[in-house]
């Protein structure tokens, strides 16, 4: 007999399949605001590319000595689509097997994946914001320009805001769905 009821299995299946949308939606966004850019500038990070006003941001970052942002800098773009596919397949398999222990394993996979992604993003931001060119036109002693991993941070006269984009919220929704189903199943078994 299956441990999970049909509704729980269906929720896991639908939430996992919702990740298919992440192939067509950005995962993360970084927004910048400054007096000279009151409408703001945005950069979107997808599973396999960057979009938004990346070239304008590169032009501004040049003055403070930051590296030029290019898709080639991110080897993650090669394997992120496969990782997303693996997570989708693991979710479908979890729903099909219907065992609580497998659901716990799936949640563990999601949590570890999120931690690895955030640590990777932090390391990229640290390198990008601290490894500045000596030829920079603007130098502020002791200043680094590491963008926030999540949330808001002031960088000189710019405000930087970093949050999940629509595709990232789908990942968050999957994680919350798995947690909710697990809590429901534990309460149901009591």
pLDDT, average across residues 153-165? 89
Query: Is the confidence at residue 10, as pLDDT, over 70?
Result: yes
Give the per-residue pLDDT at 13.
Answer: 98
What count of other Cβ atoms lies within 10 Å of the Cβ of residue 57?
21
pTM recorded for the entire structure: 0.88
Q: What is the pLDDT of residues 57-92, one digit of tens each?
A: 888 877 777 878 889 989 999 999 999 999 999 999
Catalogue the E-assigned strands of the chain. 28-34, 37-45, 50-52, 151-155, 158-164
More confident residue, 36 or 52: 52
Query: Is the confidence at residue 1, as pLDDT, over 70?
Result: no
What separation in angstroms does the CA of 169 have from each of 19, 26, 32, 45?
10, 10, 20, 13
Task: Give the whole-angstrom CA distance, residue 95 versus residue 8.
Answer: 8
More confident residue, 52 or 128: 52
């Amino acid at each position: 007999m299956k441990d999970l009821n049909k509704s729980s299995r269906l929720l896991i299946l639908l939430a996992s399949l919702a990740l298919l949308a992440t192939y067509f939606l950005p995962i993360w966004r970084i927004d910048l605001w400054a007096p000279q850019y009151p409408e703001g500038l945005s950069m979107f990070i997808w599973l396999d590319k960057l979009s938004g006003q990346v070239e304008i941001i590169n032009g501004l970052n040049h003055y403070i000595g930051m590296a030029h942002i290019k898709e080639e800098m991110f080897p993650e773009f090669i394997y992120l689509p496969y990782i997303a596919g693996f997570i989708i397949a693991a979710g479908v398999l979890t729903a099909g097997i219907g065992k609580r222990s497998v659901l716990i394993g799936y949640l563990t996979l999601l949590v570890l994946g999120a931690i690895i992604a955030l640590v990777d993003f932090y390391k990229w931001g640290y390198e990008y914001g601290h490894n500045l060119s000596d030829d920079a036109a603007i130098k502020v002693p002791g200043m680094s320009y590491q963008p926030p991993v999540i949330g808001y941070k002031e960088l000189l006269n710019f405000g930087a805001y970093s949050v999940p984009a629509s595709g990232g919220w789908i990942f968050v929704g999957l994680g919350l769905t798995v947690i909710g189903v697990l809590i429901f199943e534990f309460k149901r078994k009591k």
